[in-house]
Amino acid sequence: MRDFIPLRRSLAAGVLAVTLALSPALAVQPSEVLPDPAQETRARQISENLRCLVCQNQSIDDSNAELARELRVLVREQIKAGKTNSEVTDYLVSRYGDFILLKPPVNLRTAILWAAPFAILALAAVMVLGRARRRVAAPSVAPLSEEERRRLDEALETDTRAGPSA
């Protein structure tokens, strides 16, 4: 019976992993799904490239937030109205800005989004190097004076004469 405990734990971990992996797919409610499979496929393609403005690191296709649901419905309404994928995306970008795109384009307006991580990394490197240079340049202990050196020598001599302590 004890031989089955690791097997049960592994099986439970596998079931949990599969459940968690599939849970984002459950964000789209059945009432949102378009009857035409081609239109639904287009809606999914568009939705998976749009950022949930509440969750910020999930697509609207993966998010359970109310705003994400409203955006999914909006995308499907635009597709039903005969808009192309780029027209739907352009409409949402005009309404919410480039931030709604999970992969914003590199342009003058989004340059800070693309440059900020590198600038922060460079700033951190400069700070670490500056701190290391200060640490090397400035000794943390002042040198001994002549009087201190003489007293240290005397103490060491006395300790040497006393012999090893057991």
37 and 68 belong to one structural domain: yes
Which whole number is the average pLDDT over 6-12?
66
What is the band of 13 on the pLDDT scale with cuts at 50, 70, 90? low
The tens digit of pLDDT for each residue in 59-70 reads: 888 888 888 889
What is the band of 1 on the pLDDT scale with cuts at 50, 70, 90? low
Cβ–Cβ under 8 Å, residues 20 and 26: no
Indicate the average pLDDT of the chain.
80
H-type helices in 53-110, by residue range?
66-80, 85-96
| Whole-number Å distance between alpha carbons of 6 and 86 | 51
Give the contacts of 1 (CB within 8 A, at least 6 positions apart). Answer: none
Which whole number is the average pLDDT over 7-18?
63
Give the model's pLDDT for residue 125: 95
Inside any domain, residue 105 = no
Domain hosting 52: range is: 4-100
Give the model's pLDDT for residue 164: 63
90 and 120 belong to one structural domain: no
Inside any domain, residue 142 = yes
Inside any domain, residue 106 = no
Helix axes 85-96, 37-47, angle to 10 degrees: 40
The tens digit of pLDDT for each residue in 35-51 reads: 788 888 888 899 888 98
Q: How many domains does the chain have?
A: 2
Of 60, 81, 100, which closes a domain?
Answer: 100
Cβ–Cβ under 8 Å, residues 72 and 114: no
12 and 40 belong to one structural domain: yes
pLDDT at 24 over 50: no
The tens digit of pLDDT for each residue in 86-144 reads: 999 999 999 988 888 888 888 887 788 778 889 999 999 999 998 888 777 666 677 88
Percent of the residues in the chain that have a pLDDT greater than 70, as a whole number: 75
